[in-house]
Structure 1
């Protein structure tokens, strides 16, 4: 039997995602995470339920403005499109390691202070916050797709330990990683 593993798309800066009603990337990502969870559950049970979930998700996305589109012009005072792609790719590829602002600045051939301002203009948040958010998002994906312990997931995401993951996760997501994982992996009617 095929199992569904959620994947997260390459990051599109929040100000580059637009819809008829201005749906931001964070809301869209949240909807997609929930959709992946629903599909995973449905695929474990039966294909008809999964198809119904997909149909409902398509209707919801049409109601909130359809498919997001990427702005064609770079943000004034921000990074150029190639720099955005290079930084986002580097961060995603190195989440399990230490990522310093100086390294990111050197990657796109800017000095550290100019890079910080340009990054914030392009991504809508400072580099450090972006890296933390991407680590938490990777942790969410691993929690849904693997049976690894939270301490293993924390290390795989470049965090010091499980308590570090818990603090950051609670700050960004609003609940503990254990509660978040349990709520999304338990099927309706299961007793834990």
Structure 2
């Protein structure tokens, strides 16, 4: 089920020009708005989830004035040179525009409960509770623009690409601590058994690192490190090893061709099977079949 931030908003003088573009990842919802604002346009907003606001494009050097108290003289101005703010959950925000202009902006909403489960005690919750009506961080603005592109025009790259962008942005916003290289433990016996059983059941299809990490309620980087600590192999190599075992089982029957065994075991074709099989067994599947088939 897609996370919904349940943000309440009341706006005046704002016209939406294009359909909303949005995408969701575990613990994150990103949406991109393209709007036209009249001179004097204003609004107020409050959300149950913390959010990052990034001004992506503007014409006529239009700018937005922000405050967390209506009528306050303590205001900041967002514009092309100062495009970001971060608003914690439950903090009201008032905005206004002095002159007419067209804006395109990204709202990135965070589900703290999901992110806390994913990153555990490495997530700095205090960083997501600090109001920043304006801040500068080249990493954040670069990642936010790339995420906005994925919302508006998704690339043909593997899902790992957009997942990595979002994970990197959360790492910066949430001040995610690095996994210690020394003294870190592997997966618990119970968790390792659960993960390996899942990989055995699904070894003939591509299992992403993110999928396994979610199963273990760990971040992808922490899970990968812990899995290798426990098994001696990275998750992808372990999966390839299981596919080789499936192929060997099929190849003991002379009626199974190399191509049939390759496809049934989850390899893309016979050459893929041969390449991986040689890495694990030191010989080709054809030679192995001649030695072990009935």
Q: CA deviation at 1:161?
A: 0.3
Q: What's the counterpart of residue 114 of structure 1?
A: 222
The answer to whether structure 1 residue 135 and structure 2 residue 243 are counterparts is yes
Instruction: Provide the TM-score with structure 2 as the length reference.
Output: 0.36
Retained in 1: the 8 A contact 2:274–2:284?
yes
1:168 corresponds to 2:282: no
Tell me which protein shows more strand as a share of its residues: 2
Matched, 1:79 2:179: no
Q: Distance in 1 between matches of 2:193 and 2:255?
A: 31
- The within-5 A match list for 1:27-106 is 77-106=185-214
Q: Quote the Cα distance in structure 2 between the aligned partners of 1:159 and 1:138.
A: 11
In the alignment, which of 121, 126, 150 is matched to residue 258 of structure 2?
A: 150
Q: What runs of 5+ residues in structure 2 fail to find an aligned partner?
A: 1-182
Question: What 5-or-longer segments of structure 1 have no aligned partner?
Answer: 1-74, 187-192
Shift of residue 182 of structure 1?
0.5
Deviations 1:145-167 (A, max 9, x none): 46221111111111100110001
Q: Specify which structure has the higher proportion of helix.
A: 1
Q: Which 4+ runs in 1 deviate beyond 2 A?
A: none
| Number of residue pairs the alignment of both structures matches | 112
In the alignment, the residues of structure 2 paired with residue 146 and residue 99 of structure 1 have an alpha-carbon distance, to the nearest angstrom, of: 29
Determine whether 1:180 maps to 2:288: yes
For residues 124-157 of structure 1, what are the alpha-carbon distances to aligned partners after superposition, in whole Å with 9 as ceiling and x for unaligned?
1111111111111111111114622111111111
Cα distance in 1, alignment partners of residues 195 and 264 from structure 2: 20
More contact order relative to length (CA 8 Å, sep ≥ 6)? 1
SS across alignment from 1:96: coil
Instruction: Measure the CA separation in 2 of the matches of 1:145 and 1:126.
Output: 30
Q: 1:146 to 1:110 in 2, by over 3 A?
A: farther
Q: CA RMSD in A?
A: 1.7
TM-score, with normalisation over the residues of structure 1? 0.55
| 1:107 CA drift (Å) | 0.6
Residue range with higher mean Cα deviation, 95-104 or 161-170 = 95-104
Larger radius of gyration: 2
- Cα offset, 1:83, TM superposition: 1.2
